[in-house]
Amino acid sequence: MVGDKDRIFELAQKITQTKGLKKTIKEYQRILDKDPGDIKTRIRLGDLYLRRGNLDKAVKEYFKIGEHYIGEELDLKAIAMFKRILVLNPGMIDSYYKLADLYYRRGLFGEAKLQYHKVLEIDSKDKKARDGLKMIETKAAKASAPEKKVVEDSTREKDPVWNAILQELQRQLSAQLRQDDYQTHYHLGIAFKEMGLLQKAIEEFKIALADPNQEFYGYLMLGMCYREMGNHNEAIENLKKGLKIKPLVTKQYEDIYYQLGLAFEEGGQMKDALEAFNKVIELKGGKASVEFESKVQKLKEQVRGV
Span 267-285, mean pLDDT?
A: 93
Span 59-83, mean pLDDT?
A: 87
From CA 76, how far away is CA 300, in angstroms rounded?
48
Q: pLDDT exceeding 70 applies to what percent of the chain?
A: 78
Span 285-306, mean pLDDT?
A: 84
Decide if pLDDT at 25 tops 80. Answer: yes
- pLDDT at position 178 is 55
Lowest mean pLDDT among 111-115, 120-124, 178-182: 178-182
- pLDDT at position 6 is 54
From CA 159, how far away is CA 175, in angstroms rounded?
25
Span 128-150, mean pLDDT?
A: 67
Q: What is the pLDDT of residues 165-206, one digit of tens each?
A: 666 566 555 544 555 667 777 877 877 776 677 888 899 899
- pLDDT at position 127 is 93
Domain ranges of the chain: 1-89, 92-142
- pLDDT at position 2 is 44
Using pLDDT thresholds of 50, 70 and 90, give the confidence band for residue 248.
confident
Q: pLDDT exceeding 90 applies to what percent of the chain?
A: 30
Burial annotation 206-230 (CB, 10 A radius, 16+ → b, else e):
ebbbeeeebbbbbbbbbbbbbbeee
Residues 6+ apart with CB under 8 A from 244: none
From CA 280, how far away is CA 292, in angstroms rounded?
10
- pLDDT at position 150 is 32
- Crossing angle between the packed helical segments 93-105 and 75-88, to the nearest 10 degrees: 150
Decide if pLDDT at 24 tops 50. Answer: yes
Span 239-267, mean pLDDT?
A: 92
Decide if pLDDT at 266 tops 80. Answer: yes
Q: For domain 1-89, give the fold.
A: 1.25.40
Amino acid in position 119: V
Q: What is the pLDDT of residues 38-52, one digit of tens each?
A: 888 888 888 888 877
The vertex-171 CA angle with 109 and 77, nearest 5°, equals: 35
Give the residue from 109, 193, 188, 196 showing the smallest Cα distance to 158: 196
Across the chain, mean pLDDT equals 80
Span 7-28, mean pLDDT?
A: 61
**Selected residue with higher pLDDT from 220 and 178:** 220
